[in-house]
Structures are given as C-alpha cells and as structure tokens.
Amino acid sequence: MELFFRTSTVAGWEHSAGVLCGLRAAAESSREVVLQSDSPLKEVEDLVAAAWFFRLAGGSLANLCVVSPCPSPAWIAPLRAAGVERVFMFPRGLANAFTLADALEVPADLCPALHIRTSRGGGVSVCGHQSDCMILARHHYTNHCFGNWRSCQMFLHAQASQGSQP
C-alpha cells in the first residue's frame, strides 16, 4: 500500500515516505489523499486501518480515496463499512500525473460474482459466472460489473443454470 497526497498548490501527486506519517500530515492540512494498493485482498485490513487512522487524526473521509487495479466486493465492502465512499479502479503503478478523471469510479452496486484471482504474483479481477476464466477489461466493468450486473448475460445464464438444477 502506498499513499499519495496533494494540495491545491501542487500540480501532481506527492508520494509519502510512510503511510501513517502521510495520513497524519494530510489530515492536518486538508489534503486530498489516495491510498493505492496493488494487492487489496492482502491489504484490506491495512486499508481499513489507514482510513480509521486518517479519520482519528481529524481527516475528512471525503478527502480520502482508495485506488486499485482489481475491484472486488471482498475488499471494497469492508472499506465502505468503514466510511470510505470513494473507490477507483486504476492500472497498476500510480503516476505523479494521475487524475481521478483517468480512473473508473467503483459504484456501491457491484456484481457479487466479481472477485480477484491471484495470477503471476499479482491479482486480476475475474468473473465468477465464467468459472474464473474471464479476465475483465474496462468495458466489462462499465457495461456489466458496475451497476448493470443484473442484466449481464453471464449473470442471467448463471441464474438460469441454478434454476434448472434440482
């Protein structure tokens, strides 16, 4: 997990040397904060704790967002329960020029079949309705997984298959 912050006077994001120090400094100065995790399932407890420390230090959770390349209800639900509303999908390796406009916001209504499979030392989001064999692209998220999953053909096929079983 890494922490980036910025103020209105800084054009890009500044990398914090340490997460706790960065959270404290950001809370004291009303900075916008991004917690970036390439392994959110492994770091979910740390992400929740970081949000808790940020709020404890006086920071507003409206200034905090979490960014990961692998959205999944397994790690997003605990963050939402902790009060973090701003979660974004963004490719690995947050750059100094990162903008939230480049990221895809993860809505509250997220497909329950979406989860992370570990592959080649990193995680990838996969569709549980496709036997975890379908690695998802951005258009899958926007058209199906994020808010529209009840009309997704993979979801409907899985529902029909479950209904036909005794």
Query: Cα dist. 62→18, 32, 114, 133, 156 in Å?
Result: 21, 9, 26, 36, 36
Q: Report pLDDT digits (tens) over 59-116.
A: 889 989 999 988 999 999 999 999 999 999 887 666 555 666 778 889 988 898 888 8
Question: Phi/psi at 146 (nearest 5 deg)?
Answer: -100, 90
Q: Report pLDDT digits (tens) over 120-166.
A: 767 788 888 877 777 777 888 888 888 788 888 888 888 888 764 43
Indicate the pTM of the whole model: 0.82
Report the DSSP beta bridge partners of residue 35.
Answer: 3, 66
Distance (Å, rounded) from C-alpha 84 to C-alpha 103? 17
Q: Which of 83, 77, 76, 85 is nearest to 37 (CA)?
A: 76
- In the chain, the amino acid numbered 28 is E
Joined tokens for residue 78: 């605990």
Q: What pLDDT does residue 45 have?
A: 95
